[in-house]
Amino acid sequence: MPKLTFLRALSRALSPALLALAAACLPPALAAEEIKVGVTAGPHAQIMEAVKKAAAQDGLQIKIIEFGDYVQPNAALASGDLHANSYQHKPYLEQQIKDRGYKLVSVADTVTFPIGLYSKKVKSLDELKEGARFGIPNDPTNGGRVLLLLQEKGLIKLKPDAGLKATPLDITENPKKLKFVELDAAQLPRSLDDLDASAINTNFALSAGLDPKRDAIAQESPKGPYVNILVVREQDQSQPWVRQLISAYHSNAVRQYIDQAFKGSVTAGF
């Protein structure tokens, strides 16, 4: 075989192996990567679809895993079944860490969902009768959040030191003798037929077909400690994909999607 022909044949034979070796030696940041992100169904899932598109442009693939409650996404993240989750505010995360010992950490702010008060029986809080049954979330942070809102609206008074995790036991004045029914947050939209009024987190309200701007008889101010967050395991917070995920979530494309899709019922917190 002529020398030149032999060299060309050898080059063609080695090229695939050399290319495979070169690809294996690339830094991880240059390779396409897929992460699993847990969300609750509804707005968080919808927003994550927009984040997924933005992240793909930076080489990060996102698989979205939906949950129907507030408990499982942190359990799945702590066990390693997820890389990140996006559904909770910091007070809730802090309570979960305290109660369950999770090694989880907030890495970025996301969106704010002002909680609303809803009723099928009255059109204002003033119309609530003595002894009215009022639904609130049964987790300490969101339950306390509702009680603080009711105090702001003049329906109850709490102990001065009750703080963000106030419970019905912290109520010092209750002129209407409201009876508080504590339920899982995801169950509250279905409670409206049985209760006189109920506090419903905006993500569950929207999923149930409620319009916070139109249907809520009272609503929390969007400014406060309840901005939602991206959460990862402590051991992962310095991983390159975390920076990519934050960058995608905080992109102009995602901000515009939030503004257009939710028209003020959900606001960007970044």
Q: Inform me whether the pLDDT recorded for 251 exceeds 70.
A: yes
Residue 18 lies in a domain: no
User: Is the same domain home to 229 and 209?
Assistant: no
What range does the domain containing 138 cover?
116-219
Rg (CA), the chain: 24
Residue 4 lies in a domain: no
User: Is the same domain home to 155 and 84?
Assistant: no
Q: Inform me whether the pLDDT recorded for 14 exceeds 90.
A: no
Res 8: pLDDT = 46
Residue 255 lies in a domain: yes
* Euclidean distance between CA atoms 38 and 72, whole angstroms: 9
Enter the tokens of residue 37.
């992100």
Residue 145 lies in a domain: yes
* Euclidean distance between CA atoms 11 and 193, whole angstroms: 76
Q: What average pLDDT does range 67-77 have in this prediction?
A: 96
Phi, psi dihedral angles at 239 (to 5 degrees): -70, 145
User: Is the same domain home to 131 and 257?
Assistant: no
User: Is the same domain home to 109 and 235?
Assistant: yes
User: Is the same domain home to 199 and 229?
Assistant: no
* Euclidean distance between CA atoms 156 and 11, whole angstroms: 82
Residue 47 lies in a domain: yes
How far, CA to CA in Å, does 237 sit from each of 203, 230, 242, 246?
26, 11, 6, 11
User: Is the same domain home to 174 and 244?
Assistant: no
Q: What average pLDDT does range 47-60 have in this prediction?
A: 97
Q: Which residues contact 154 (CB under 8 A, 6 or more apart)?
A: none
Percent of the chain at pLDDT > 70 equals 88
Q: In this predicted model, what pLDDT tens digit does every residue of 20-37 receive, in sequence order? A: 444 444 344 334 589 999
User: Is the same domain home to 160 and 141?
Assistant: yes
Residue 212 lies in a domain: yes
Q: What average pLDDT does range 82-95 have in this prediction?
A: 96
Q: Inform me whether the pLDDT recorded for 221 exceeds 90.
A: no
User: Is the same domain home to 161 and 206?
Assistant: yes
Number of domains in the chain: 2
CATH number at residue 90: 3.40.190.10
User: Is the same domain home to 123 and 214?
Assistant: yes
Q: In this predicted model, what pLDDT tens digit does every residue of 155-211 receive, in sequence order? A: 999 999 999 989 999 999 999 999 999 999 999 999 999 999 999 999 899 989 999
Residue 10 lies in a domain: no
Enter the tokens of residue 210.
């409620």
User: Is the same domain home to 92 and 158?
Assistant: no
User: Is the same domain home to 179 and 252?
Assistant: no
Residue 12 lies in a domain: no
Res 205: pLDDT = 93
Which residues on adjacent β-strands are paired with residue 88?
229
Res 223: pLDDT = 77
Q: Count the neighbouring beta carbons within 10 Å of the beta carbon of residue 196.
A: 20
User: Is the same domain home to 187 and 169?
Assistant: yes
* pLDDT higher at 3 or 238: 238
* Euclidean distance between CA atoms 171 and 151, whole angstroms: 9
